[in-house]
Amino acid sequence: MNVKDEFSFISKITPRHTHQSSLKVAIGDDAAVYSGTDLFDEVICVDTMVEGIHFRKDTLTPYQIGKKALAVNLSDLAAMGAVPHYYLVSIAIPKSWSEEQLEAVYHGMKDLADQFKVDLIGGDTVSIQESLVITVTVIGRVEKNRSLLRSSAEVGDNVFVTGYVGGSAAGLSLLLEKGNEASYFDHEQELIKAHQEPVPQVRAGRIFAQSNERISLNDVSDGLASEANEIAEASQVTLLLYEEKLPLHPAMSANELDQQLDAALYGGEDFQLIGTASKETFPLIQAECKRQGISLHLIGEVIDNQPAVYLKKENEKILLSKKGYNHFSK
């Protein structure tokens, strides 16, 4: 790519003015929101996966490529607190892909779509020279004015994350090292599965939206450090994360701690939800998550009104940039 910084590119192309008065959330969050009926807002997002960049035939099967292409979009809708309803698929097909393999891609999407009662309603099919490109658009809805934004965090909030983090990156490392044909221990297979078949946290997103409380939310597509920074920037607040509270995927426990932290903070593709809620709200949503079999971990707090993220590690406080460590003494 000839674009140096994706974020500054996006800000350059973001329109300064919009035309439609129904628009509620434009570029800048996990999905866009515009008003629909009296009771609901519409939520829509799109994501692309490219062969050789986001997957290879030896890291994901065609079935898993389809499933994941839909899952990443359902995750963006989950991060808004929305219920997914419809999806559209645009696919650019190179000669190296057989019709059978393409059917498997759609089979993977359908299995996940059936689970969430989402319908395929359109798309586009074209040829391409080299690599498969698959673009999925998902449309859903959320109760009026209840979409959960990255910009809602406030000083004093607790910071939380659903499920475990780091598993996907650890699974990808195994696949890149040994390939998908190798024999793996059970715990390694668990990590590989976390990478190949991530589960979007739609139900957790719905618990947060239906709580009717102020909750900021983002999905973990690029690693905790990057996602926490997106909340910090959108809300203009400082997040302090506690290293010992990060829910590192238990199947990674044989790895060095530094490796586990690296996977959780910078690996990405866990598709869990990170967010903040007031200290009064947090126990309520945690209890409801528990009732529904979802683990919600308290990992930090919002401490200040400057956009930054720190990791507290014993006596050290480390500034977490979007990518890579930046040591900071305190």
- Which is it for strands 316-320 and 32-35: parallel, antiparallel or unpaired? unpaired
Asked whether position 270 contacts Mg ion by CB under 5 A, the answer is: no
Residue 30 CB, shortest distance to ligand ADP, in Å, is: 4
Residue showing tokens 């009926």: 37
Rounded to whole angstroms, how far apart are CA atoms 205 and 46?
Answer: 18
Asked whether position 53 contacts ligand ADP by CB under 6 A, the answer is: no
Of the candidates 109, 123, 131, 99, the residue with the CA atom closest to the CA atom of residue 63: 109
29 binds, among ligand ADP, Mg ion, none (CB under 5 to 8 A by kind): ligand ADP
> Which single residue brings its beta carbon nearest to Mg ion?
30
Asked whether position 221 contacts ligand ADP by CB under 6 A, the answer is: yes
What is the size of the binding site for ligand ADP (CB under 6 A)?
8
Residue showing tokens 């059917």: 103
Residue 99 CB, shortest distance to ligand ADP, in Å, is: 30
Which uninterrupted H or E stretch holds 312? Answer: strand 308-313
3, 18, 23, 27: residue in contact with ligand ADP (rule CB under 6 A):
27
Asked whether position 1 contacts ligand ADP by CB under 6 A, the answer is: no
Helices within the chain (DSSP H only): 6-13, 62-78, 99-115, 167-178, 186-196, 202-210, 224-235, 257-262, 281-291
Per-residue string for binding with Mg ion, 169-208, x by CB under 5 A?
Answer: ----------------------------------------
Of the candidates 83, 104, 80, the residue with the CA atom closest to the CA atom of residue 29: 80
Which residues face 40 on adjacent strands? Answer: 143
Question: Candidates 25-33, 56-64, 169-177, 183-191 — which segment interacts with ligand ADP by CB under 6 A?
Answer: 25-33
Sequence letter at residue 87? Y
30, 41, 243, 269: residue in contact with Mg ion (rule CB under 5 A):
30
Residue 19 CB, shortest distance to ligand ADP, in Å, is: 16
Task: Rank residues 226 and 255 by Cβ distance to ligand ADP and give the closer one.
Answer: 226
Of the candidates 217, 203, 221, 38, the residue with the CA atom closest to the CA atom of residue 117: 203
Asked whether position 270 contacts ligand ADP by CB under 6 A, the answer is: no
Residue 198 CB, shortest distance to ligand ADP, in Å, is: 14
Question: Candidates 1-9, 23-31, 194-202, 261-269 — which segment interacts with Mg ion by CB under 5 A?
Answer: 23-31
- Subset of residues 137 to 176 that bind ligand ADP, contact rule: CB under 6 A: none
Rounded to whole angstroms, how far apart are CA atoms 147 and 29?
Answer: 10
Q: Which two tokens stand for residue 234?
A: 């959108």
Query: Applying CB under 6 A, which residues contact ligand ADP?
Result: 10, 13, 27-30, 76, 221
